[in-house]
Structure 1
Amino acid sequence: MLGMGMTLTLDDLRGALSMPKEVLSGFVLQYSVMPLSGFLVSKLLNLPSHYAAGLILVGCCPGGTASNIVTYLARGNVALSVIMTAASTISAVIMTPFLTAKLAGKYVAVDASGLLISTLQVVLFPVLAGAFLNQYFQPIVKIVSPLMPPLAVATVAILCGNAISQSSSTILMSGGQVVLASSLLHASGFFFGYVLARMLGLDVSSSRTISIEVGMQNSVLGVVLATKHFGDPLTTVPCAVSSVLHSIFGSILAGIWRHTVPAEVKD
């Protein structure tokens, strides 16, 4: 989150103002398609309460920062991707605790105020700190920023590996169900993100971007929040599995789209 904040500039805000329809459409789809998909997939597969809560939590998280790279590879609108990731991340302070409490509250007890405080600590403060550093301490940022992506990757690997290893025996027994649930969650995000964006009248490049932003979640935030606020360690499993699957799905989609240039880009 600190590394992401270091990429934010005033130009990003100007960019958001220049394409309000795309940003608003992406925001609405981000916090409707994925939370509802998590809830419906949990119902469809009749998931145990701990897995259902974890899957819904993933669906209520903001877009993942890896989506920016995947958007670039897929010939999407990279500026829109960065703005959408920033917007969904900052608004996650309110949206993630609120939606998780509403949709997962029937499965497990959800401490909405605790989730709010943790999201402030894990998301908003680091992002604002990174943006502040980028604005006023650019020489330091130029030195530190190249180190942030590998550090972020290592952090993701450690957090998700830890979540899976702690519940390894249970995952081996019922892991297929979690993989299927996570696959359906992200597949629905990519599919409906694109289809609904096109139905709203957005161009192909922007629709690809929204599809990727909606389909790829900040699953590691889910791992952190689940570890801290849900008593059952199995709640973290869908979040950890999700971090792997959305990267695979996103990479495959980027590979397909990279070979089909949108008409507006050709023009």
Structure 2
Amino acid sequence: MTLAAGIDEVTVNFTPGSLTLLSILLAFIMFGIALDTTPRDFRVVARHPRPFVLAIAAQLLILPAITFVLTLILPVTPSMALGMLLVACCPPGNISQILTHRAAGNVALSVSMTAVSNVIYIVALPLSISFWGSIHPDAGDLLTDVRLDPMRMLVEIALIIGVPFALGLGLRSAYPRFADRVQPTVKWVGLLALVGFVVAALAGNWEAFVSHLGIILVVVAIHDSAALGIGWSTAAIGGLGTGERKAMTFEVGIRNAGLGLGLVMTFFDGLGGMAVVAGWWGVWDVLAGLVLATVWGRHTLKRTGSAKGDAAVANPVAP
């Protein structure tokens, strides 16, 4: 029996209105990412595919595989294990570029990777969670119980990610100056609104969260540290420079846990362990990411005398 025994029977409740609000917030965030995306970002990936290939391998293969192992080692319940796998299968979070900039990393590479990755995840997310969840010795039964429909999830993700992303790209292409003016506001409003929603969700289901607080804090901290470490080590093994390693660290380590929370409510009936893991992830990875980015940025400033430091590298692949 795990330290979190009983959480699998807990249901985190949301009203239909709050679920609609969450979907709108997530779509708004994707719209903001698209406003900061240009055709050049996709051309950068085409001209220098190695960092992107490494990032996709780290996100789609290594992170879920390491997460799978962690669910077998850590004292988690089946619903918490499935929540960890869902978060690992989510696309990168929109704050990754902000953290990369703060850390003096390669922001252009971060924007390019996030833009292309989110398009891929429209199809990859439902397939990935179906695969890893189905082969898990404990969580597989939960996945069978909820009868997850990958095609229905694909449609849901396409509406939350694909449609607003396409609208944002269209607006950016038609009115680039307007997009430049409003994009920072859209990004920060969307981020703060999502963090506020997650905090409110945890507060609204405080008893379920607090009763298992200790193990949730430990599990999410370990999982998030592993994700950040996978990003850095994959970039290092791939021979990328310091600025690119920072970008990939946040690209892999910052997941769109808000999207994961929405999927928990839509497809898993607010299953307790999944909801609290995804909800706390949405708060913790922002806090941990800000701490790491600040430390890195200050170190770069001391080392180079410039706040840009490694971010000044124009080529996304270090020589």
TM-score of the pair, normalised by structure 1: 0.92
Percent sequence identity over aligned pairs: 23
In structure 2, the partner of 1:33 is: 62
Is 1:251 the counterpart of 2:251 in the alignment?
no
CA contact (8 A) 2:54 2:234 kept: no
In structure 2, the partner of 1:91 is: 120
Which of 172, 179, 184 is the aligned partner of 2:210?
172
Per the alignment, do residues 9 and 171 of structure 1 end up closer, same or farther by CA in structure 2, a change over 3 Å counting? same
Bigger mean CA offset, 4-13 vs 232-241: 232-241
Cα displacement string for residues 110-154 of structure 1 (whole angstroms, at most 9, x for unaligned residues): 322222111111111111110011111335535543431243024
Measured after TM superposition, the shift of residue 158 of structure 1 is 4.0
Cα displacement string for residues 53-109 of structure 1 (whole angstroms, at most 9, x for unaligned residues): 111111101111101011011111101100111122111111111111111231522
Per the alignment, do residues 260 and 215 of structure 1 end up closer, same or farther by CA in structure 2, a change over 3 Å counting? same
Q: For 1:52-201, what aligned pairs fall within 5 Å after superposition? A: 52-105=81-134, 106-109=140-143, 110-138=148-176, 140-142=178-180, 144-201=182-239
Q: Per the alignment, in what secondary structure is the counterpart of residue 90 of structure 2? A: coil
Q: Which runs of 4+ in 1 moved over 6 A?
A: none
CA contact (8 A) 1:30 1:88 kept: no
Is 1:50 the counterpart of 2:79 in the alignment?
yes
Measured after TM superposition, the shift of residue 166 of structure 1 is 4.1
Per the alignment, do residues 88 and 160 of structure 1 end up closer, same or farther by CA in structure 2, a change over 3 Å counting? same
CA contact (8 A) 2:257 2:281 kept: yes
Q: Per the alignment, in what secondary structure is the counterpart of residue 187 of structure 2? A: helix
Which of 223, 240, 259 is the aligned partner of 1:221?
259
Give 2:130's aligned amino acid.
Answer: A
CA contact (8 A) 1:33 1:193 kept: no
Give 1:184's aligned amino acid.
Answer: I
Cα displacement string for residues 143-170 of structure 1 (whole angstroms, at most 9, x for unaligned residues): 5434312430243134313432343212
Q: 2 CA distance for matches of 1:229 and 1:184?
A: 26
Structure 2 residues not aligned, in runs of 5+: 1-29, 135-139, 314-319
Q: 2 CA distance for matches of 1:29 and 1:210?
A: 9
CA contact (8 A) 1:27 1:87 kept: no
Q: 1 CA distance for matches of 2:63 and 2:201?
A: 22
Per the alignment, do residues 22 and 113 of structure 1 end up closer, same or farther by CA in structure 2, a change over 3 Å counting? same
Per the alignment, do residues 168 and 12 of structure 1 end up closer, same or farther by CA in structure 2, a change over 3 Å counting? same
Q: 2 CA distance for matches of 1:38 and 1:5?
A: 29
Q: 2 CA distance for matches of 1:149 and 1:4?
A: 7
Measured after TM superposition, the shift of residue 36 of structure 1 is 2.1
In structure 2, the partner of 1:240 is: 279
Measured after TM superposition, the shift of residue 250 of structure 1 is 1.1
Structure 1 residues not aligned, in runs of 5+: none
In structure 2, the partner of 1:2 is: 31
Measured after TM superposition, the shift of residue 217 of structure 1 is 0.6
Q: 2 CA distance for matches of 1:197 and 1:254?
A: 17
Q: 2 CA distance for matches of 1:121 and 1:14?
A: 25
CA contact (8 A) 1:223 1:239 kept: yes
Give 2:49's aligned amino acid.
Answer: P
CA contact (8 A) 2:91 2:256 kept: yes
Number of residue-to-residue matches in the alignment:
267
Q: 2 CA distance for matches of 1:139 and 1:81?
A: 22
Give 1:108's aligned amino acid.
Answer: L
Measured after TM superposition, the shift of residue 172 of structure 1 is 1.1
